[in-house]
């Protein structure tokens, strides 16, 4: 465009303005034309920035042992987030708006960058210098060029060297650990460990708990936390040692540990064991060090490794996988790591699912699944990962499998539990293994009365005890129970009750009894209690406790049956007369808390029976006459029934050791007066005096009229040979007496027992019609507890 020469002063001024505008328009047009190209370059650099950031984080994770994030990382992260936000809002969205390409146009998502469409749309504005949008596009190009520089500068900064710092290998090597923000209880244990480390007198610490509860993860978090020591704690070196479980000889184990410590201390050239020990001791004697053992063995001495108590500033923390270590290792502090609480378990579960909508839609299902996982972090994490992004039917299917314990142990998520169980189980004696598997017959998380469990073990022949003394059997049973508890295969939930950890029980149910083929024990609790004919035929032990709609066959071919649990099924009112006919090997029969009025006459067929539990069958009126044929019966419990007059048939039970019954209103006299109670008491004396082997007698008195003290004194006087008499408090004219005496074998016998008695530990709620296991806070402070608190 040519401009004619100006004419006059006013025209000259206008000429200069026009010329300046034309130059400005030309300059702006250049920007508008360059904008698509510059925007494409900027977009590529933003994509490159995001890719570089991802690569950087991958490098940081791979080198987490030797490098840690520093303050530059947080600064770069904030700058990256600012740049991405500015790019989307101030560049992309503005560009779309100016050229008329709004978010979502042409099928593009709002967060996608349609570079080609933007370029094509902006070309329409190349010559429209007479419209305001033209100049706004020009200013946008200037901003794009300036912003491009900011993106480039940040991408140059995000290097591993700039955003991380090398961890000093002389102090700590980081370990891969799961964070504890989801588990306040575990975080509290970590904090208590730090407090112990700050205590100069606390130099030997053990952290213990059941397998898979998270002990190793606690130590790993502690190790990483000491990258920056808390105030009051200064360390020259933190040494992590994973115990070599593949080795068995103490010498080989010691050498392996020494090699790991020497490698960590950058010491070499020590060939002999004594040389390694001296080198480690010399290197650490003046240092302030912390030695973290992931596992240890009572067969190994720290002194043999080179870790001396004379090291003034040395501390040792051991994660105890071996229960015997708690007995044999001298330490200043023992810290038990508990399972996650239901609240913490659910928090961890939701954190792994990482989908708030999915968790909320399956809130109830999630709670039920978490309840079945036993509070073990590793199991919760594995199960949650398997459910991530799954639909509701998958959640429901897993929940049903967990509740019914059907094919659960084959889940890969429970592999760690299975391994931990068999490590402990395989180290037990054969009979102790049987005791573990027997406990799995009780429903999950069921508080098992300890004395009932011991009585069943004795009847099954799992206990070694001389003669037939109940005191000896109880003593041996408690020894076994302590052993199993120490291995975390059973847990004591009160002084009187124990239970099996829910995941251990699942493995136990899939484990055959030693010396028996698979599928000889059938457990159906909380599910329809129905066994097929073939299952009844090969069964040795059957538990249908708390079953739903239990169905019993008329005459099962159960010729190998030794234990049958039918208790806690109040809807079960009739058992066919021929049901027990083929169970001549049955040793333990639990029918307590059923709805029966009469027992089947075929009960007399159970000639091998040793323990019979009928307590709390509130409608049961009498024992069948054929009970006299049960010559091997040792335990009979008829408390809480309508049988208040001991039948004469009981006199024939010559091997009866433990008898539990009630006196008071019953089928024989619903409203007894004082004279009737006197006759009941006298008949009791007359019947019981024929039971020469009786060691334990539990009598529940229910007196509606008159003084209960009179009858208490009568009973004490009538059973004067029972030297140990325990009376429990009178509640609503209901009192319980436990009488014990030491078994004296016939003259000439070759068994001799001490005079000490082993108190039993059952509890009986004198105010309740049906006996149930108590929780810890329901147990009275009696020094000797009551037998017969049957399940």
Q: Is residue 414 a contact partner of residue 505, using CB atoms and an 8 Å limit?
A: no
Helix H, strand E, coil C: the string for 447-494 is CEEHHHHHHHHHHHCCCCCCCCCHHHHHHHHHHHHHHHHHCCCCEECC
Query: For the residues 443-454, what does the mean pLDDT come to?
Result: 92
pLDDT of residue 551: 85
Residue 564 in any domain: the answer is no
Distance CA 44, CA 529 (A): 67
Q: Give the pair of three-digit tokens for residue 420.
A: 């931990």
472 φ, ψ (degrees, to nearest 5): -65, -40
pLDDT of residue 46: 93
Same-domain status, 193 and 331: yes
698 φ, ψ (degrees, to nearest 5): -115, 125
Residue 528 in any domain: the answer is no
Same-domain status, 259 and 326: yes
pLDDT of residue 64: 65
Same-domain status, 394 and 248: no
Residue 734 in any domain: the answer is no
Distance CA 522, CA 544 (A): 8
pLDDT of residue 754: 34
Residue 480 in any domain: the answer is no
Residue 130 in any domain: the answer is yes
H/E stretch holding 206 reads strand 204-208
> Which residue segment(s) compose the domain that 221 sits in?
184-336
pLDDT of residue 413: 72
Burial readout 556-594 (b: 16 or more C-beta within 10 A, e: otherwise): bbbebbbbbbbbbbeebeebebebbbbbeebbbbbbbbb
Distance CA 370, CA 635 (A): 39
Same-domain status, 278 and 364: no
Same-domain status, 152 and 233: no
Residue 106 in any domain: the answer is no
Rg of the chain over Cα atoms, rounded to whole angstroms, equals 39
* 80-125: pLDDT as tens digits: 999 999 999 888 888 888 888 765 444 333 345 677 777 777 777 7
Share of the chain above pLDDT 90, in %: 37
Q: Given 699, 719, 739, which residue is the final one in a domain?
A: 719
Query: For the residues 346-352, what does the mean pLDDT come to?
Result: 89
Q: At what angle do helices 377-387 and 363-371 cross, to 10 degrees?
A: 140
Q: Give the pair of three-digit tokens for residue 404.
A: 């019914």
Same-domain status, 663 and 629: yes
Q: Is residue 600 a contact partner of residue 576, using CB atoms and an 8 Å limit?
A: yes
Q: Is residue 598 a contact partner of residue 574, using CB atoms and an 8 Å limit?
A: no
Same-domain status, 703 and 590: yes
Same-domain status, 15 and 160: yes
* Burial classification of residue 8, based on how many CB atoms lie within 10 Å of its CB (0-12 exposed, 13-18 middle, 19 or more buried): exposed
Same-domain status, 358 and 317: no
* 158-194: pLDDT as tens digits: 998 888 866 555 688 889 888 887 788 899 999 999 9
Residue 242 in any domain: the answer is yes
CATH of the domain at 316: 3.40.50.300
Residue 326 in any domain: the answer is yes
pLDDT of residue 668: 63
Q: Give me the long-range contacts of 110-115 (CB less than 8 A, separation at least 24).
A: 113/43, 115/36, 115/39, 115/40, 115/43
Same-domain status, 60 and 147: yes
Same-domain status, 394 and 378: yes
CATH of the domain at 683: 3.80.10.10
- DSSP string for 496-559: SEEE--HHHHHHHHTSPPTTS-SS-EEE-SSSB----HHHHHH-SEEE-TT-BS----SS---T
How many separate domains does the chain show? 4
Q: Give the pair of three-digit tokens for residue 568.
A: 């806690």
Q: Given 336, 355, 383, which residue is the final one in a domain?
A: 336
> Which parts of 265-335 fold into alpha helices (H)?
273-284, 302-305, 325-328
H/E stretch holding 240 reads strand 237-242
Query: For the residues 395-405, what does the mean pLDDT come to?
Result: 82
Query: For the residues 512-517, what does the mean pLDDT come to?
Result: 90
Same-domain status, 366 and 325: no
């Amino acid at each position: 465009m040519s401009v004619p020469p100006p004419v006059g002063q006013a025209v000259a001024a206008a000429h200069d303005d026009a010329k300046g505008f034309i130059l400005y328009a030309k300059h702006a047009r250049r920007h508008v034309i360059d904008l698509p190209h510059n925007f494409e370059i900027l977009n590529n650099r933003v994509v490159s920035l995001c890719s570089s950031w991802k690569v950087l984080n991958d490098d940081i994770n791979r080198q987490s042992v030797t490098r840690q994030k520093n303050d530059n990382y947080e600064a770069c992260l904030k700058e990256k987030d600012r740049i991405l936000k500015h790019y989307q809002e101030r560049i992309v969205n503005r560009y779309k708006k100016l050229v008329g390409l709004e978010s979502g146009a042409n099928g593009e998502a709002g967060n996608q960058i349609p570079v080609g469409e933007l370029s094509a749309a902006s070309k329409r504005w190349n010559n429209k210098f007479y419209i305001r949008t033209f100049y706004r596009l020009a200013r946008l190009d200037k901003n794009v060029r300036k912003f491009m520089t900011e993106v480039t500068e940040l991408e140059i900064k995000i290097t591993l060297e700039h955003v991380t710092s090398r961890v000093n290998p002389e102090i700590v090597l980081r370990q891969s650990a799961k964070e504890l923000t989801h588990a306040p209880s575990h975080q509290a244990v970590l904090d208590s460990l730090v407090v112990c480390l700050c205590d100069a007198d606390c130099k030997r610490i053990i952290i213990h708990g059941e397998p898979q509860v998270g002990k190793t993860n606690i130590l790993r978090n502690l190790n990483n936390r000491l990258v920056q020591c808390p105030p009051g704690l200064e360390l020259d070196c933190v040494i992590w040692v994973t115990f070599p479980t593949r080795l068995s000889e103490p010498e080989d184990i010691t050498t392996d540990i020494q090699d790991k410590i020497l490698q960590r201390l950058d010491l070499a050239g020590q060939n002999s064991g004594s040389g390694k020990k001296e080198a480690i001791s010399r290197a650490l004697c003046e240092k302030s060090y912390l030695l973290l053992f992931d596992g240890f063995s009572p067969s190994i001495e720290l002194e043999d490794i080179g870790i001396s108590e004379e090291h003034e500033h040395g501390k040792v923390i051991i994660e105890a996988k071996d229960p015997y270590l708690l007995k044999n290792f001298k330490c200043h502090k023992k810290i038990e790591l508990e399972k996650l609480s239901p609240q913490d378990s659910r928090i961890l579960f939701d954190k792994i699912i990482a989908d708030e909508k999915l968790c909320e839609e399956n809130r109830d299902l999630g709670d039920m699944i978490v309840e079945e996982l036993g509070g073990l972090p590793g199991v919760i994490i594995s199960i949650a990962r398997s459910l991530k992004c799954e639909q509701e039917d998958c959640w429901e299917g897993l929940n049903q499998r967990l509740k019914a314990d059907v094919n659960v142990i084959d889940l890969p998520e429970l592999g760690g539990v299975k391994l931990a169980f068999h490590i402990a189980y395989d180290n037990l004696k054969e009979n102790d293994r049987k005791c573990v598997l027997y406990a799995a017959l009780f429903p999950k998380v069921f508080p098992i009365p300890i004395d009932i469990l011991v009585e069943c073990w004795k009847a099954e022949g799992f206990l070694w005890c001389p003669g037939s003394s109940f005191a000896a059997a109880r003593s041996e049973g408690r020894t076994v129970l302590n052993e199993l508890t120490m291995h975390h295969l059973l847990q004591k939930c009160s002084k009187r009750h124990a239970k099996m950890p829910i995941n251990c029980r699942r493995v136990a149910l899939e484990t055959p009894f030693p010396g028996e083929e698979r599928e000889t024990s059938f457990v159906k609790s909380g599910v329809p209690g129905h066994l097929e004919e073939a299952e009844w035929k090969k069964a040795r032990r059957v538990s249908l406790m708390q079953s739903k709609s239990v169905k019993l066959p008329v005459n099962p071919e159960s010729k190998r049956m030794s234990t049958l649990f039918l208790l806690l099924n109040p809807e079960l009112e009739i058992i066919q007369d021929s049901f027990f006919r083929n169970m001549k090997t049955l040793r333990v029969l639990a029918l307590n808390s059923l709805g029966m009025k009469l027992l089947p006459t075929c009960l007399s067929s159970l000639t091998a029976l040793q323990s019979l539990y009928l307590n709390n069958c509130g409608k049961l009126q009498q024992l069948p006459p054929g009970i006299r044929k049960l010559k091997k019966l040792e335990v009979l419990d008829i408390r809480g029934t309508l049988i208040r007059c001991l039948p004469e048939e009981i006199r024939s039970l010559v091997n009866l050791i433990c008898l539990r019954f009630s006196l008071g209103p019953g089928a024989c006299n619903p409203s007894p007066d004082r004279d009737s109670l006197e006759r009941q008491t006298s008949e009791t004396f007359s019947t019981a005096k024929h039971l020469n082997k009786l060691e334990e007698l539990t009598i529940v008195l229910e007196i509606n009229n008159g003084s209960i003290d009179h009858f208490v004194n009568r009973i004490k006087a009538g059973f004067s040979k029972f030297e140990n008499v325990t009376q429990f408090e009178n509640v609503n004219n209901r009192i319980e007496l436990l009488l014990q005496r030491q078994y004296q074998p016939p003259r000439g016998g070759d068994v001799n027992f001490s005079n000490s008695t082993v108190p039993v530990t059952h509890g009986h709620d004198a105010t309740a019609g049906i006996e149930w296991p108590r929780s810890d806070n329901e147990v009275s402070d009696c020094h000797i507890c009551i037998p017969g608190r049957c399940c």
